[in-house]
Amino acid sequence: PRLAALRVKGRGFSEDDKREVLALQQDAVSQIIPLYRKLAESGQIELTTSPFYHPILPLLIDTDIAKRSRPETALPQRFQAPADAEAQIQKAVALHTELFGMPPAGLWPSEGSVCPEMAPILRRAGLRWMATDEGVLARSLGSWNRHQDLYHPYRVGQPVTASSPMLLGSSMPRRCRSQPWRTCCAGSPTSWSVRRVIMY
Protein backbone atom coordinates (compact mmCIF):
# COMPACT_ATOMS: atom_id res chain seq x y z
CA PRO A 1 0.00 0.00 0.00
CA ARG A 2 2.78 2.43 0.86
CA LEU A 3 4.53 1.91 -2.49
CA ALA A 4 1.22 2.43 -4.27
CA ALA A 5 0.80 5.72 -2.42
CA LEU A 6 4.29 6.83 -3.43
CA ARG A 7 3.56 5.93 -7.02
CA VAL A 8 0.46 8.09 -6.95
CA LYS A 9 2.52 10.88 -5.41
CA GLY A 10 4.77 10.72 -8.47
CA ARG A 11 7.31 13.39 -7.53
CA GLY A 12 8.69 15.53 -4.74
CA PHE A 13 9.82 12.54 -2.69
CA SER A 14 11.26 13.26 0.73
CA GLU A 15 14.33 11.62 2.24
CA ASP A 16 11.97 9.62 4.45
CA ASP A 17 10.16 8.38 1.33
CA LYS A 18 13.48 7.25 -0.16
CA ARG A 19 14.55 5.51 3.04
CA GLU A 20 11.23 3.69 3.18
CA VAL A 21 11.58 2.45 -0.41
CA LEU A 22 15.14 1.31 0.28
CA ALA A 23 14.02 -0.55 3.43
CA LEU A 24 11.27 -2.31 1.47
CA GLN A 25 13.77 -3.30 -1.22
CA GLN A 26 16.22 -4.65 1.36
CA ASP A 27 13.44 -6.65 3.00
CA ALA A 28 12.43 -8.16 -0.35
CA VAL A 29 16.04 -9.03 -1.22
CA SER A 30 16.59 -10.65 2.19
CA GLN A 31 13.83 -13.15 1.41
CA ILE A 32 15.30 -14.39 -1.89
CA ILE A 33 17.90 -16.86 -0.63
CA PRO A 34 15.63 -18.42 2.04
CA LEU A 35 12.86 -18.79 -0.55
CA TYR A 36 15.18 -20.37 -3.13
CA ARG A 37 16.59 -22.70 -0.47
CA LYS A 38 13.08 -23.79 0.54
CA LEU A 39 12.08 -24.43 -3.09
CA ALA A 40 15.28 -26.38 -3.76
CA GLU A 41 14.83 -28.50 -0.64
CA SER A 42 11.28 -29.34 -1.71
CA GLY A 43 12.49 -30.37 -5.17
CA GLN A 44 10.49 -27.69 -6.96
CA ILE A 45 13.56 -26.06 -8.49
CA GLU A 46 17.19 -26.88 -9.23
CA LEU A 47 19.73 -24.18 -8.51
CA THR A 48 22.92 -23.82 -10.51
CA THR A 49 26.10 -21.99 -9.69
CA SER A 50 28.57 -20.02 -11.78
CA PRO A 51 32.31 -19.35 -11.44
CA PHE A 52 32.86 -17.42 -8.20
CA TYR A 53 33.98 -14.05 -9.61
CA HIS A 54 32.31 -14.69 -12.99
CA PRO A 55 35.48 -15.07 -15.10
CA ILE A 56 35.47 -16.53 -18.61
CA LEU A 57 36.83 -19.91 -17.51
CA PRO A 58 38.26 -21.08 -20.86
CA LEU A 59 40.36 -17.90 -21.07
CA LEU A 60 41.47 -18.28 -17.47
CA ILE A 61 42.56 -21.85 -18.20
CA ASP A 62 44.44 -20.78 -21.35
CA THR A 63 43.90 -17.66 -23.44
CA ASP A 64 44.92 -19.57 -26.58
CA ILE A 65 41.68 -21.55 -26.32
CA ALA A 66 40.05 -18.53 -27.99
CA LYS A 67 41.81 -19.47 -31.24
CA ARG A 68 39.80 -22.68 -31.55
CA SER A 69 36.59 -20.93 -32.45
CA ARG A 70 38.14 -17.67 -33.71
CA PRO A 71 41.60 -18.41 -35.14
CA GLU A 72 41.85 -14.92 -36.63
CA THR A 73 41.54 -13.21 -33.22
CA ALA A 74 44.54 -11.15 -32.12
CA LEU A 75 45.42 -12.16 -28.57
CA PRO A 76 47.72 -10.72 -25.90
CA GLN A 77 50.65 -12.68 -24.51
CA ARG A 78 49.51 -16.18 -23.62
CA PHE A 79 48.14 -16.56 -20.09
CA GLN A 80 47.43 -19.89 -18.38
CA ALA A 81 46.01 -20.27 -14.87
CA PRO A 82 44.11 -23.58 -14.66
CA ALA A 83 44.60 -23.71 -10.88
CA ASP A 84 42.84 -20.34 -10.61
CA ALA A 85 40.00 -21.69 -12.74
CA GLU A 86 39.65 -24.65 -10.40
CA ALA A 87 39.64 -22.33 -7.38
CA GLN A 88 36.80 -20.33 -8.97
CA ILE A 89 34.69 -23.49 -9.16
CA GLN A 90 35.61 -24.75 -5.69
CA LYS A 91 34.72 -21.40 -4.10
CA ALA A 92 31.45 -21.23 -6.03
CA VAL A 93 30.42 -24.72 -4.92
CA ALA A 94 31.40 -24.00 -1.30
CA LEU A 95 29.37 -20.77 -1.15
CA HIS A 96 26.39 -22.37 -2.88
CA THR A 97 26.44 -25.22 -0.36
CA GLU A 98 26.67 -22.79 2.55
CA LEU A 99 23.76 -20.67 1.31
CA PHE A 100 21.41 -23.37 0.08
CA GLY A 101 22.30 -26.36 2.26
CA MET A 102 23.26 -28.60 -0.65
CA PRO A 103 25.89 -28.55 -3.38
CA PRO A 104 24.88 -27.62 -6.92
CA ALA A 105 24.66 -30.28 -9.62
CA GLY A 106 25.16 -27.90 -12.52
CA LEU A 107 27.13 -24.89 -13.68
CA TRP A 108 25.91 -21.92 -15.67
CA PRO A 109 29.25 -20.74 -17.10
CA SER A 110 29.99 -17.04 -17.41
CA GLU A 111 28.59 -15.88 -20.78
CA GLY A 112 27.99 -19.55 -21.68
CA SER A 113 31.71 -20.00 -22.35
CA VAL A 114 32.80 -23.65 -22.30
CA CYS A 115 35.75 -25.79 -23.35
CA PRO A 116 36.69 -29.46 -22.93
CA GLU A 117 39.31 -28.62 -20.31
CA MET A 118 36.55 -27.47 -17.96
CA ALA A 119 34.96 -30.91 -17.64
CA PRO A 120 37.59 -32.52 -15.37
CA ILE A 121 37.62 -29.41 -13.16
CA LEU A 122 33.85 -29.52 -12.79
CA ARG A 123 33.84 -33.27 -12.14
CA ARG A 124 36.35 -32.88 -9.32
CA ALA A 125 34.05 -30.31 -7.73
CA GLY A 126 31.11 -32.73 -7.93
CA LEU A 127 29.29 -30.93 -10.76
CA ARG A 128 27.48 -33.12 -13.28
CA TRP A 129 26.41 -30.71 -16.01
CA MET A 130 27.07 -27.33 -17.56
CA ALA A 131 24.98 -25.22 -19.89
CA THR A 132 25.79 -23.14 -22.92
CA ASP A 133 23.91 -21.55 -25.82
CA GLU A 134 22.91 -22.88 -29.19
CA GLY A 135 25.57 -20.86 -31.01
CA VAL A 136 28.33 -22.70 -29.14
CA LEU A 137 26.56 -26.01 -29.71
CA ALA A 138 26.18 -25.37 -33.45
CA ARG A 139 29.87 -24.55 -33.85
CA SER A 140 30.81 -27.61 -31.81
CA LEU A 141 28.72 -30.05 -33.82
CA GLY A 142 29.82 -28.73 -37.20
CA SER A 143 26.76 -30.12 -38.97
CA TRP A 144 23.77 -28.29 -37.50
CA ASN A 145 20.07 -29.02 -37.65
CA ARG A 146 18.39 -26.73 -35.15
CA HIS A 147 15.15 -28.70 -34.95
CA GLN A 148 16.98 -31.99 -34.47
CA ASP A 149 20.01 -30.93 -32.41
CA LEU A 150 18.59 -28.40 -29.97
CA TYR A 151 17.06 -29.22 -26.57
CA HIS A 152 19.16 -32.33 -25.96
CA PRO A 153 21.82 -32.75 -23.31
CA TYR A 154 25.19 -33.86 -24.70
CA ARG A 155 27.65 -36.05 -22.85
CA VAL A 156 31.34 -35.18 -22.92
CA GLY A 157 34.20 -37.26 -21.65
CA GLN A 158 37.96 -37.68 -21.81
CA PRO A 159 38.03 -40.47 -22.79
CA VAL A 160 34.52 -41.76 -23.48
CA THR A 161 34.96 -44.48 -20.85
CA ALA A 162 35.60 -41.96 -18.06
CA SER A 163 33.34 -42.31 -15.06
CA SER A 164 31.02 -39.50 -13.98
CA PRO A 165 30.41 -38.11 -17.47
CA MET A 166 29.76 -34.42 -17.87
CA LEU A 167 26.53 -33.41 -19.58
CA LEU A 168 26.47 -30.32 -21.75
CA GLY A 169 22.94 -29.00 -21.95
CA SER A 170 20.12 -27.63 -19.86
CA SER A 171 19.12 -30.54 -17.65
CA MET A 172 20.32 -33.72 -16.03
CA PRO A 173 17.83 -36.43 -17.02
CA ARG A 174 16.98 -39.05 -14.44
CA ARG A 175 17.00 -41.82 -17.00
CA CYS A 176 18.79 -41.63 -20.29
CA ARG A 177 20.69 -43.69 -22.79
CA SER A 178 23.47 -42.42 -24.99
CA GLN A 179 24.51 -43.05 -28.54
CA PRO A 180 27.89 -42.12 -30.04
CA TRP A 181 27.76 -38.69 -31.60
CA ARG A 182 30.79 -36.94 -33.04
CA THR A 183 34.16 -35.67 -31.94
CA CYS A 184 33.79 -31.94 -31.57
CA CYS A 185 33.62 -29.08 -29.08
CA ALA A 186 34.74 -26.10 -31.12
CA GLY A 187 38.15 -27.24 -32.19
CA SER A 188 38.75 -29.53 -29.25
CA PRO A 189 41.31 -32.35 -29.42
CA THR A 190 40.03 -35.40 -31.24
CA SER A 191 40.41 -37.48 -28.07
CA TRP A 192 37.25 -35.78 -26.87
CA SER A 193 33.93 -37.32 -27.73
CA VAL A 194 30.52 -35.75 -27.44
CA ARG A 195 27.49 -37.96 -27.10
CA ARG A 196 23.91 -37.12 -27.59
CA VAL A 197 21.90 -38.17 -24.54
CA ILE A 198 18.38 -39.30 -25.36
CA MET A 199 15.51 -39.38 -22.87
CA TYR A 200 13.30 -42.48 -22.84
Determine contact, residues 160/191, Cβ cutoff 8 Å: no
pLDDT one digit per residue (tens) for the chain, 200 residues: 789 999 999 999 999 999 999 999 999 999 999 999 999 999 999 999 999 999 999 999 999 999 988 899 899 999 999 999 999 999 999 999 999 999 999 999 999 899 889 989 999 999 998 888 888 888 878 788 888 888 778 877 544 444 445 566 543 333 333 333 332 333 333 333 333 333 22
**pLDDT of amino acid 145:** 87
107 sits in which H/E element: strand 106-107
Q: How far apart are CA 86 and CA 51, in angstroms?
A: 9
**pLDDT of amino acid 90:** 98
Nearest CA to 116 out of 157, 176, 162, 67 is that of: 157
Three-state secondary-structure class, residue 16: helix
Q: Taking the domains of the chain in order of start, what are their residue ranges?
A: 47-199
Exposed, middle or buried: residue 44 (CB in 10 Å: 0-12, 13-18, 19+)? exposed
Determine contact, residues 136/188, Cβ cutoff 8 Å: no
**pLDDT of amino acid 77:** 96
Determine contact, residues 189/159, Cβ cutoff 8 Å: no
pTM of the model: 0.76
Q: How far apart are CA 2 and CA 24, in angstroms?
A: 10
